[in-house]
Amino acid sequence: MTVTLADVAARARVSPATVSRVLNGNYPVAAATRARVLKAVDELDYVLNGPASALAAATSDLVGILVDDIADPFFGIMASAIQSEIGGPGGRAGGERLAVVCNTGGSPERELTYLTLLQRQRAAAVVLTGGAVDDAEHRAAVAAKLRRLSEAGTRVVLCGRPPVPDTGAVTLAFDNRGGGRELTGHLIALGHRRLGYLAGPEERTTARHRLEGHRAALAAHGIEDDPCRTVHGRYDRQSGYEATLELLRRDPALTAVVAANDSVALGVCAALRDSGHHIPGDVSVAGFDDLPCSIDTVPALTTVRLPLARAGARAGRIAAGREEPPPGGIATLRGELMVRGSSGAPRG
């Protein structure tokens, strides 16, 4: 009842092999024959059977994109860029690739599960985005999976994620350390000496690297890094809100708060507003990522712009095999400091 390639062949009065060749366009076929086949395809409303095709050819057109949180524009922007570079023509059979995004929810287990699922589908490529969970066991498990995927012919690209050595994975990393250093450096230059820092989840590499940059900037200027001025939390607004109140409790004389990312910074702003502090008159605020939202806060947020779309597009092209990997398989992309109204000189 469901129409198969054989049906098309019968109607076009050719062999199944010829239909396959027309559909894949990877073999010379007489123009007249091709036309006849295409007509039959159209008339029968034939749709290629993906699994059968993938089984016989031992490859598929599936490309997986793993993200931590699809509801977060940070990942959405990257995923969108990746997908738009992959989803075009260029695949096998029918010329279209199925680029799909998988939401891990930040869970290491789900990350591994999705990798297995994609391995099971014999995916053509896999792109992993965002910071990794920096735990020895999980790192080893991911490395093993990536190695296995590479060996099976799946292209692996890490986008905005630190390299995983010896896996054949191409890496486009963000310079989170450098960005963090520059951001805190900017605040120090304005005259700030009592800076609160809201770090992201302790186990995430992005959070860790940004914090390292912050500390490097403090050290470079001989400012003591009082541990009670750093609070770890989640990468979300609410976490920023709560942590800010905690920070103010610990040191009411704070003149600046640096957040692990923009979502957290929005929470910081809200908490400061709600507790009667003026931004930047009383307290300066800075974020990281430069999400679209960040320009609409009042005052607009000082932050570090990450080239999310550019990185994603490049990762997509590499995954699609349309661009050469960077030399050594690793490239580091720098962020750009965006100075806006939320940062200013401290009072007094």
Partner DNA sequence: CTGTTAGCGCTTTCAT
Partner DNA sequence: ATGAAAGCGCTAACAG
Judged on CB neighbours under 10 Å (0-12, 13-18, 19+), 266 is: buried
Query: Which range in 11-19, 81-89, 146-154, 175-183 contacts DNA by CB under 7 A?
Result: 11-19
* 31 near its own copies, judged by CB under 8 A: no
The amino acid at residue 119 is: Q
For the four alpha carbons of 112, 118, 122 and 128, in that order, the dihedral sign comes to: negative
Which of DNA, its own copies, none is residue 222 near (CB under 5 to 8 Å by kind)?
A: none
Least separation in angstroms between residue 79's CB and its own copies is 5
* 14 near DNA, judged by CB under 7 A: yes
For the record, the structure tokens of 148 come out as 């296995």
Which residue number, 218 or 301, has a Cβ lying nearer to its own copies?
301
Considering only residues 59 through 98, tell me which ones interact with DNA, judged by CB under 7 A. 92-93
For the record, the structure tokens of 212 come out as 């390292």
* 317 near its own copies, judged by CB under 8 A: no
Sequence-distant (≥ 6) Cβ neighbours of residue 343 within 8 angstroms: 186, 187, 190, 256, 280, 284, 285, 286, 302
* 26 near DNA, judged by CB under 7 A: yes
Place of tokens 């806060």: 297
Least separation in angstroms between residue 91's CB and DNA is 11
DSSP-derived 3-state class of residue 145? helix
List 64's β-bridge partners, or say none.
Answer: 100, 126
* 52 near its own copies, judged by CB under 8 A: yes
Give the footprint of its own copies on this chain (CB under 8 A): 2, 45, 47-55, 60-62, 64, 69-73, 76-77, 79-80, 83-84, 87, 93-94, 96, 98-103, 105, 110, 113-114, 116-122, 148, 152, 237, 266, 269-270, 273, 292-293, 295-298
